[in-house]
């Protein structure tokens, strides 16, 4: 197999205008894992929002996450549950985009709940590692990504690329 | 199939050691850059490991937040920094022990400031020597609105990278 053939871009979105959510749909089940690489800013007035995920349109209370972050003065860990998974933390600083790398393992299986692991890198606020769980055995075929499903948007220029990793 | 995770360049340090490692004339044809590091420095003074300073286009001033395992370890800590560094093993660490580190830079050709993350560990095969082990996560941003064309890695204590230290630069394309 050619080098790099297992790190395949499935889809990429670059926002030409602000958007409340970004959706990847019809995700093929032919890979082993997914990796989402995002570079974003949010539209709030100086607030930081997580990169939040919902899968397959599920808006129920079927999500939880555990996180560890540093804010420049202290290290904090905690956990939460609710209607979406939070991974990382994003800034609203103009011109400084927050990179977040999120791994979704074994996303196509129909036996186990789905786990998510990510690194968020908001240099103005938080450096964060987080893991999340979607309590569903369904294969992931779509995902919606929003700034905590709040009233805020992703700003224009934000980018999202979904890669597929194949084990063989 | 597109080669979307491509090796751009590598540098494996030879028997004489190296005071720095530079990737220059970096192609602007990728979306993201990743640097994979396995390193050890010649630092032998004191009783600590070492760190690697990173410069983009010759500049090494940043805004950064760091989360690490703390020194002494067992007490995680966070702090802000104006320089970007990876943890690395040194000659003070167990023989033949090298660090593992990664630098991920998104949208490195854009006209926006450059944001990136680093993950790194330095390990030591001993229960003693708190300052010989470290786990570090970093979020950084460089005030740099031109594309990144060079990356230089140096020991923050001005010690050489020892033989077999390895550095690989990859380019990732989103299409």
CATH of the domain at B115: 2.60.120
Output the domain CATH number for residue A62. 2.60.120
Q: What angle do CA A80, A14, B148 make, to 5 degrees?
A: 95
Give pTM, 2 decimals: 0.92
- Burial class from Cβ neighbours inside 10 Å (0-12, 13-18, 19+) for residue A89 reads buried
CB proximity list for A161: less than 8 A, separation 6 or greater: A9, A11, A12, A13, A36, A37, A38, B31, B174
Name the strands in the sheet holding A143-147, side by side, starting at the edge strand that comes first in the sequence.
A22-24, A143-147, A49-55, A85-90
Let me know: does A34 contact A167? Beta carbons within 8 Å.
no
Contact B67 A124 (CB under 8 A): no
Whether residue A3 is contained in a domain is answered as no
Residues of A in contact with B64 (CB under 8 A): 123
Q: Please state, in angstroms and rounded to a whole number, the distance separating the CA atoms of residues B174 and B53.
A: 28
B158 touches chain A (CB under 8 A): no
A-B CB pairs within 8 A amount to 132
Let me know: does B121 contact B135? Beta carbons within 8 Å.
yes
| Cβ count near B151 (within 10 Å) | 22
Q: In this complex, which of B5, B31, B79 lies closest to A4 when CB atoms are compared?
A: B5
Token pair, residue A53, equals 């995920």
CB proximity list for B100: less than 8 A, separation 6 or greater: B37, B38, B120, B121
| Cβ count near B52 (within 10 Å) | 26
What is the residue range of B89's domain? 5-172
Q: What is the pLDDT of residue B9?
A: 97
Let me know: does A28 contact A11? Beta carbons within 8 Å.
no
pLDDT tens profile B84-123: 789 899 999 889 999 999 999 999 999 999 999 999 988 8
Q: In this complex, which of A4, A121, A129 lies closest to B4 when CB atoms are compared?
A: A4
% of chain B at pLDDT higher than 90: 71
Give the count of domains, chain A: 1
Can you give the pLDDT of all 168 residues of chain A as single tens digits?
A: 444 457 899 999 999 999 999 999 999 999 999 999 999 999 998 889 999 999 999 999 999 999 999 999 999 999 999 999 999 889 898 888 999 999 999 999 999 999 999 999 988 899 999 999 999 999 999 999 999 999 899 999 999 999 999 886
B83 touches chain A (CB under 8 A): no
Q: Please state, in angstroms and rounded to a whole number, the distance separating the CA atoms of residues B161 and B107.
A: 29
A13 touches chain B (CB under 8 A): no
Whether residue A68 is contained in a domain is answered as yes
Let me know: does B139 contact A120? Beta carbons within 8 Å.
yes
Contact A5 B1 (CB under 8 A): yes
Give the count of domains, chain B: 1
Whether residue A99 is contained in a domain is answered as yes
% helix, strand, coil for chain A, step of 5 = 0, 55, 45
| C-alpha separations of A13 from A10, A156, A162, B171 in Å | 11, 11, 9, 19
What is the residue range of A56's domain? 8-165
Lowest mean pLDDT among B22-31, B86-95, B152-161: B86-95
Whether residue A1 is contained in a domain is answered as no
Print burial letters for A31-48: b (CB count within 10 Å at least 16), e (below 16): bebbbbbbbbbbbbeeeb
Contact A4 B104 (CB under 8 A): no
Shortest CA distance from A95: residue in chain B: B112
Pairing of strands B85-90, B40-41: parallel
């Amino acid at each position: 197999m050619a080098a790099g053939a297992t790190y395949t871009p499935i889809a990429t979105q670059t926002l030409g205008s602000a958007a409340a959510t970004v959706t990847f749909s019809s995700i093929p089940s032919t890979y082993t894992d997914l990796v989402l690489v995002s570079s974003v800013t949010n539209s709030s007035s100086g607030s930081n929002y997580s990169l939040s995920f919902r899968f397959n349109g599920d808006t129920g209370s079927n999500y939880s996450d555990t996180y560890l972050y540093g804010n420049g003065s202290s290290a904090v860990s905690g956990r939460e549950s609710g209607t979406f998974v939070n991974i990382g933390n994003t800034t609203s600083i103009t011109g400084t985009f927050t990179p977040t790398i999120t791994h979704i393992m074994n996303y196509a299986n129909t036996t186990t709940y789905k786990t998510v692991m990510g690194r968020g890198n908001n240099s103005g606020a938080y450096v964060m590692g987080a893991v999340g769980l979607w309590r569903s055995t369904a294969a992931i075929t779509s995902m919606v990504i929003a700034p905590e499903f709040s009233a805020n948007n992703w700003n224009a220029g934000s980018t999202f690329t979904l890669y597929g990793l194949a084990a063989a | 199939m597109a080669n979307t995770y491509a090796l751009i360049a590598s540098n494996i340090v030879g028997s004489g050691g190296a005071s720095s490692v530079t990737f220059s004339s970096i192609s602007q044809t990728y979306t993201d850059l990743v640097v994979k590091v396995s390193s050890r420095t010649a630092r032998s003074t004191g009783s600590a490991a070492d760190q690697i300073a990173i410069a983009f286009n010759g500049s090494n001033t940043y805004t950064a937040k760091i989360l690490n395992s703390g020194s002494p370890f067992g007490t995680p800590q966070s702090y802000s920094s104006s320089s970007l560094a990876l943890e690395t093993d040194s000659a003070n660490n167990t023989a033949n022990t090298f660090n593992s580190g990664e630098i991920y830079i998104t949208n490195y050709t854009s006209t926006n400031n450059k944001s990136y993350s680093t993950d790194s560990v330095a390990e030591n095969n001993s229960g003693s020597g708190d300052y010989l082990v470290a786990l570090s996560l970093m979020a950084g941003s460089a005030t740099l609105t031109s594309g990144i064309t060079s990356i230089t890695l140096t020991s923050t204590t001005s010690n050489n990278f020892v033989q077999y230290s390895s550095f690989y630069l990859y380019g990732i394309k989103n299409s």
